Chains A and B, each alone.
Chain A
Amino acid sequence: MIAFASSLDQCGPLTRTVSDAALLLGILQGKDPCDSTSVGLEGGVRLPDREDLSGLRFGVPAELGHDEYDSGVRAVFEQTLRKIEALGGEIAEVSLPSSEHGISAYYVIAPAEASSNLARYDGVRYGMRAGGDGDLVQMYETTRSEGFGPEVKRRIMLGTYALSSGYYEAYYGQAQKVRTRIAEDFSGAFSGVDFVVTPTAPSVAFGLGEKTDDPLAMYLNDFFTVPMSLAGIPAISIPAGLAEPEGGGPQLPVGFQIAAPAFGEQKLLDAAYALEQGIGFDARPEGLDG
């Protein structure tokens, strides 16, 4: 795994089913001697087999305003909450007041770390080199100008700025404080519920390249998933149904996100499995038989 934003980077399974995710996580997890920040899950990961959700409490953030996501997404989200209740789970309200600042914090921390992580691509030792006939600084500049794409450059610039002397406290320092608050919000919430649930994204998938000119709109797409990454807790997204995009068009999958306390992966997989079975979402693309 190549570092982008080290304090947020993680490898997670991307699979068709919860069982596959559990199988893969069972392999991925564990203390890695080459990564001093890693820890193993006690007892490893076993295949989930839970059939209902009785005795489990699912918290919906009170701050989840309706403006933040599409009506189609909302319909699927609410329908999934009813499904949870049908499976014996309980829906409760939780408060995550700092989560709304998650995106702002994320887009300071991630570019800051990225600006440092991507600095090694300087043309000195490996990879692309351009402008090697000039002096050192000119070679650095040409290599990096030509080698990185616009979004990467945008993040490097943002991150370099956020870490500069005189701006550090206002940006990176502040973002770290927000991050701590978000983590505290979650640990508060988990004192009353087993899981926190949200839609995975505010809308169904947008078209390729559609938001490239509006990076802010693109960043907002991570609104629901970023707080979990900042808090350092496990979360899973499972397909919960289909919805039309806000502007019309063919129906597309809607994700349902479940987050658990740190090291609650097994519990999370068990609950996601039960819900997945209850929803019975057909992941096969349309028009494909068998």
Chain B
Amino acid sequence: MAELEAVIGLEIHVQLATKTKMFCGCELSFGDEPNVHTCPVCLAHPGVLPVPNEQAIRYALQIGAALNCEIAPRSIFHRKNYFYPDSPKAYQISQYDIPICGAGRLGDVRIHRAHLEEDAAKMIHVGESGRIHGSGASLVDFNRGGTPLVEIVTEPDLRDAAEAAQWARLLRETIRQLGVSDVNMEEGSLRVDANVSVRPAGSEELGTKTELKNMNSFRFLQRGVEAELARQRELVESGGTVEQETLHFDPASGSLTSLRSKEEAHDYRYFPEPDLVPLVPSEEQLREARESLPELPVARIARYQEMGLAYDVALTLATDPRTAGYFENVVEAGEGIEPRVLANWVTGELAAALRQAEVDGGAADSRISPPDLAKLVRLVQEKKISHGSGKKVLAAMVKGGGDPEKIVEREGLAQMSDSGELEAIVEKAMADNPDAVEKIREGNNKAIGAIVGAVMRETKGRADGGEVNRLIQEKL
């Protein structure tokens, strides 16, 4: 049998951080006492009508612009009809065949569509599991009901669970930097569903998919998709077929349970919402949405890669615009030093030093000015101090700031310039570690570490690692 390839698409619900709900004036909230942010509109009293939230439309247009979506010149709202207590009207106002945002792209993944809709109320199932099965009663909190949502649907362009989680992170970061949502997965302001299927590698056809609902962290997303892919692979490889169904992943047990099968799928009886007129964005709204975009992670990553940064370092910086800004200031001050080296200091050594010192906040909030960090890196690059001493200076700077040159002077960390002194120390270290010397002679180069370590201890890190290595090789 041909090898099976995973095909994954994501559906992401983004709660928009507007002041008020999608179709009424109730305030958005999280964690407030139940049913205090309600009104006749979001409780679906007889005789009320929805009035669209302009800010939500603006945010949806910004998301569309950030995801390079085609914006529909005229999109319409539909009613999605279903009976359930979380839906007081017994229908959700959503978009169906003409969404506000059409085809787009983020990174390597094509966007199928993104549309505006309203969130359902929150159901609280009384009982130990917190889930409906085995619960004696359910309560409804309408505070969340009517919160504006943008649902983003990707094309099935993802090929494994890690890639799916990685891309979802990029999407969250993109949306977060737009400032249109809190994108907090635990609080549910970002919710991810995955459509998962397998097919013979190289096939163009899509296999039957299952839908994994509502995984509330990227880790659970990855684990859920991995578990489901494993299940499908095993099923197909043993001659079975995948049935279309909706699944729940329980991260505690790692198990998948079926929520409903295809036969139980709802017939939502979609039809155009007659209470609303079509959504026709003005030229000005479209321009505003485009112009409001900050430099988004995807663009930043590309720019940093062009500067010579590795992808993961570029990604780390792109997901943290304040640190990225700091890094760019360091680059400016550190003219002549490779940005790649400076980036490693910012995301590596400095981040570690801040963690070590238990300092809150990132590089941008630290006591180290970008020119001072650039100066420190230059000292290391020019071999005026060793890398190890550089880290010591950095630790001192994290605590009290200051000019790295002065700290080097104060702490006596300048690189050993007297090669005769260093040579003597190396010789002594080799004499003290005859086993290591023997191993190196036999071709085990790793053993050199023991000797280098001994030299560094003796010199308190002031020796240049490269020079020490050279001397050891010479003496052999």
Chain A residues proximal to chain B, CB less than 8 Å: 1-3, 5-7, 33-37, 112-113, 115-116, 119-120, 122, 124-126, 136, 140, 160, 163-165, 168, 172
Asked if residues A6 and B274 are in contact (CB atoms below 8 Å), the reply is: yes
Q: Which residues of A are found within 8 Å of B79, using beta-carbon distances?
A: 116
Known: A37-B276, A119-B83. 13 other contacts (CB 8 A): A2-B46, A3-B275, A35-B51, A36-B277, A113-B271, A119-B81, A120-B44, A120-B88, A120-B90, A136-B85, A160-B269, A168-B270, A172-B271
CA distance A67 to B275 in the complex (A): 37
Interface residues of chain A: helix, strand, loop or mixed (majority): loop
On whether A165 and B267 interact (CB within 8 A), knowing A116-B90, A119-B90, A122-B90, the answer reads: yes
Write the B21-43 contact mask toward A (1 if CB under 8 angstroms, else 0): 00000000000000000000001
Q: Which residues of B are found within 8 Å of A115, using beta-carbon distances?
A: 81, 269
Asked if residues B274 and A163 are in contact (CB atoms below 8 Å), the reply is: no
B378 in the interface (beta carbon within 8 A): no
Instruction: For the complex formed, measure the closest distance between the CB of A33 and the CB atoms of chain B, giving whole angstroms.
Output: 7
Q: Which residues of A are found within 8 Å of B83, using beta-carbon distances?
A: 119, 122, 140
Count the A-B residue pairs with Cβ separation under 8 angstroms: how many?
74
B367 in the interface (beta carbon within 8 A): no
Chain B residues proximal to chain A, CB less than 8 Å: 43-52, 79, 81, 83, 85, 88-91, 140, 267, 269-271, 274-277
Q: Choose from B45, B49, B81, B271 the contact partner of A36 (Cβ within 8 Å).
A: B49
On whether A116 and B269 interact (CB within 8 A), knowing A6-B275, A126-B45, the answer reads: yes
Asked if residues A116 and B271 are in contact (CB atoms below 8 Å), the reply is: yes
On whether A120 and B274 interact (CB within 8 A), knowing A36-B51, A164-B269, the answer reads: no
CA distance A162 to B55 in the complex (A): 35
On whether A1 and B47 interact (CB within 8 A), knowing A37-B275, A116-B90, A124-B88, the answer reads: yes
Q: Choose from B88, B90, B267 the contact partner of A164 (Cβ within 8 Å).
A: B267
Ranked nearest first, the 6 interchain pairs of A and B with the lowest CB-CB distance are A119-B90, A7-B274, A163-B269, A6-B274, A2-B46, A120-B44
Q: Which residues of A are found within 8 Å of B267, using beta-carbon distances?
A: 164-165
Q: Which residues of B are found within 8 Å of A112, using beta-carbon distances?
A: 271
Chain A: CB-nearest residue to B48? A34
Q: Which residues of A are found within 8 Å of B90, using beta-carbon distances?
A: 116, 119-120, 122
CA distance A7 to B88 in the complex (A): 20
Interface residues of chain B: helix, strand, loop or mixed (majority): loop
CA distance A140 to B87 in the complex (A): 13
Asked if residues B85 and A36 are in contact (CB atoms below 8 Å), the reply is: no
Asked if residues B51 and A3 are in contact (CB atoms below 8 Å), the reply is: no
CA distance A113 to B271 in the complex (A): 9
Asked if residues B50 and A36 are in contact (CB atoms below 8 Å), the reply is: yes
Q: Which residues of B are found within 8 Å of A1, using beta-carbon distances?
A: 47
With most chain A CB atoms within 10 A of its CB, the pick from B52, B91, B269 is B269
Chain B: CB-nearest residue to A141? B83
With most chain B CB atoms within 10 A of its CB, the pick from A115, A119, A163 is A119
Q: Choose from A2, A113, A140, A168 the contact partner of B274 (Cβ within 8 Å).
A: A113
Q: Which residues of B are found within 8 Å of A33, using beta-carbon distances?
A: 51
With most chain A CB atoms within 10 A of its CB, the pick from B47, B51, B90, B267 is B90
Asked if residues A119 and B51 are in contact (CB atoms below 8 Å), the reply is: no
On whether A116 and B91 interact (CB within 8 A), knowing A1-B47, A124-B85, A163-B271, the answer reads: yes
Q: Which residues of A are found within 8 Å of B270, using beta-carbon distances?
A: 163, 168
Chain A: CB-nearest residue to B276? A36
Chain A: CB-nearest residue to B51? A36
CA distance A224 to B473 in the complex (A): 105
Q: Choose from A35, A120, A163 the contact partner of B89 (Cβ within 8 Å).
A: A120
Q: Which residues of B are found within 8 Å of A7, using beta-carbon distances?
A: 274
CA distance A122 to B269 in the complex (A): 18
Q: Which residues of B are found within 8 Å of A2, using beta-carbon distances?
A: 46-47
On whether A36 and B52 interact (CB within 8 A), knowing A116-B271, A164-B269, the answer reads: yes
Q: Which residues of B are found within 8 Å of A125, using beta-carbon distances?
A: 43-44, 88
Q: Which residues of B are found within 8 Å of A136, using beta-carbon distances?
A: 85
Asked if residues A120 and B46 are in contact (CB atoms below 8 Å), the reply is: yes
Chain B: CB-nearest residue to A36? B51
Q: Which residues of B are found within 8 Å of A116, using beta-carbon distances?
A: 79, 81, 90-91, 269, 271
Q: Which residues of A are found within 8 Å of B43, using beta-carbon distances?
A: 125
- Can you give 16 contacting A-B residue pairs, CB < 8 Å? A3-B46, A6-B274, A36-B52, A37-B49, A113-B271, A115-B81, A119-B89, A119-B90, A119-B91, A120-B44, A120-B88, A120-B90, A136-B85, A163-B81, A164-B269, A168-B269
